Amino acid sequence: MIDLIDECSYDFERLGYKKVKAKKYDIDLLSLHVDSDKESKETGFDKGDYFIINAPLLQYLDEECFDYVSMLFEKRLKFLIKKWHVKKSKTLLVGLGNPEIWADRFGVEVCRQFALDKFSNVKKFCPNVYFETGLATFEVVKALVEKFDITFIIVLDALCTSHISRLGCSIQLTTTGMTPGSGVIFGNKRICKKELGVPCFSIGVPFMINSRSLGAEEELLLCPKDVKENVQNLGYIISHALEGAL
């Protein structure tokens, strides 16, 4: 399964795929809109908007760079919230992943750094993984939506990449939601508007790479040795962008 849409072998140029260079730090901004059921079937990706920030120097720079990337991401998030007529009156942040494993705790880290005390309209929920709780994330999120009349959901999770240079350096935003534990749990329902009736955006950053991508015979998930610092930095970047957009 491919997490980052620009790692798909499909020729997205015919669908209006755009790539522009930001003014600083050698950052690429990628955007794509999958418009029809036909395009969705051909590409394997759900209909909606996709946006990626590729910042190859991110982990080598300082807080000034982090703030710049956060600003770029916040700007696109605001644009998509307006485009999709999102009502932010009751927003739920869902931080997926295992909080005990740094390569898998991006969603939890963003929620931890998000300043909840500044917002009366935002709730945070970090469900942990199914193997720790025995609870299907979708069912719990559905219950929260119904209980608190949630109008907007943002799902956050760590992703996988097939390119080692993208670990901790790419941020993907979609308006299509996300399937919790899609890599290990089959049949889990997708957290998306079709299933829950409210807009569901997803934000992901790759912190893992499949060893097969590096030519290894045995299939393992690998992560950077400085993954803790990487995750904390991205938690800072995304939590600040969310605070600005919400």
Rounded alpha-carbon distances, angstroms, from residue 82 to 78, 79, 86, 122, 238: 6, 5, 6, 18, 19
Looking at the structure of the chain, the number of domains it has is 1
pTM confidence score: 0.94
> Mind listing the pLDDT tens digit of every residue in the chain (246 residues)?
689 998 887 888 878 889 999 999 999 999 999 998 988 988 889 999 999 999 999 988 889 999 999 999 999 999 999 999 999 999 999 999 999 999 999 999 999 999 999 999 999 999 987 677 778 899 999 999 999 999 999 999 999 998 999 999 999 999 999 998 755 544 578 999 999 999 999 999 999 987 777 777 776 677 878 999 999 999 999 999 999 999
Structural domain boundaries enclosing 101: 5-245
CA distance 95 to 17: 29
CATH number at residue 118: 3.40.50.1450
Distance CA 216, CA 211 (A): 5
How far, in Å, CA of 150 to CA of 196, rounded? 10
